[in-house]
């Protein structure tokens, strides 16, 4: 099965991608994983990407797409894959469609994790990070009443990208970039939305139930 996972920050894409890929026995492929593998492996694309990253610039689409193409051509992805983090916009989606068409393949499904904006803010703005061990706690879900890490005793702090105003900005950017992508896949008739609120296990069950009719 060839599957793309989309959803806003805080929707739990990373967690669900792992569970879904494992259930379907296909590789989970994220752009972050691809970047790290190419940079650490010293590939030509990795070296090129690193020149942009070292300057603090965004890696151009053509470099990212070339990395994705290389990864999808590997042996373990021939019978299926789950893409997390790609495509991010309609031009990338069109390139992915054409790439797969060249290989006489196509996407089976695009699964959208649907979460209300206020739930995303609640999830992300409530996170606190330990300054010593890096463990992440949640002021609501972990029933924390102090700013001390229960594992190592370190002080907890709120990262800048977890602050409410930053989270809301990230959601605005996501909506601007991804709404056209959602429409694109809806028109392709391969988009299915899944409620991503509630316990992780329940979300996974909903996702797998939505996927089964497309699994073949």
Annotated catalytic residue 2: no
Q: Which of 69, 135, 168, 170 is catalytic?
A: 170
Closest residue by Cα to residue 124 from 78, 74, 89, 159: 159
Q: Which of 13, 28, 71, 128 is catalytic?
A: 13
Annotated catalytic residue 168: no
Check whether the bond before 87 is cis (ω within 30° of 0): yes
Q: Which residue in this structure is represented by tokens 């073949």?
A: 216
Sheet holding 136-138, edge to edge: 136-138, 127-130, 156-157
Closest residue by Cα to residue 187 from 87, 88, 90: 90
Q: Which of 50, 69, 88, 206 is catalytic?
A: 88
DSSP-derived 3-state class of residue 189: coil
Annotated catalytic residue 123: no
Annotated catalytic residue 55: no
CB of 96 closer than 8 Å to CB of 190: no
Annotated catalytic residue 13: yes
Give the C-alpha separation, 4 to 72, whole Å.
13
Q: Which of 47, 159, 163, 209 is catalytic?
A: 159
Q: Active-site positions?
A: 13, 88, 127, 159, 170
């Amino acid at each position: 099965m060839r599957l793309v996972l989309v959803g806003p920050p805080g929707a739990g894409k990373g967690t669900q991608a792992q569970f879904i890929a494992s259930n379907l026995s296909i590789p989970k492929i994220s752009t972050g994983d691809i970047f790290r593998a190419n940079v650490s492996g010293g590939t030509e694309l990795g070296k090129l990407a690193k020149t942009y990253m070292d300057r603090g610039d965004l890696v151009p689409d053509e470099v990212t797409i070339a990395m994705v193409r290389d990864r999808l051509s590997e042996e373990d992805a021939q019978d299926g894959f789950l893409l997390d983090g790609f495509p991010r916009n309609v031009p990338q989606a069109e390139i992915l469609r054409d790439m797969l068409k060249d290989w006489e393949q196509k996407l089976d499904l695009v699964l959208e994790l649907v979460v209300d904006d206020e739930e995303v803010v609640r999830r992300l703005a409530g996170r606190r990070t330990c300054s010593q061990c890096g463990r992440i706690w949640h002021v609501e879900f972990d029933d924390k009443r102090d700013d001390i890490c229960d594992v190592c005793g370190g002080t907890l702090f709120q990262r800048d990208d977890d602050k409410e105003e930053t989270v809301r900005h990230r959601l605005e950017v996501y909506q601007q970039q991804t709404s056209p992508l959602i429409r694109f896949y809806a028109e392709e008739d391969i988009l299915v939305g899944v409620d991503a609120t509630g316990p992780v296990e329940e979300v996974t069950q909903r996702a797998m139930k939505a996927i089964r009719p497309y699994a073949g």
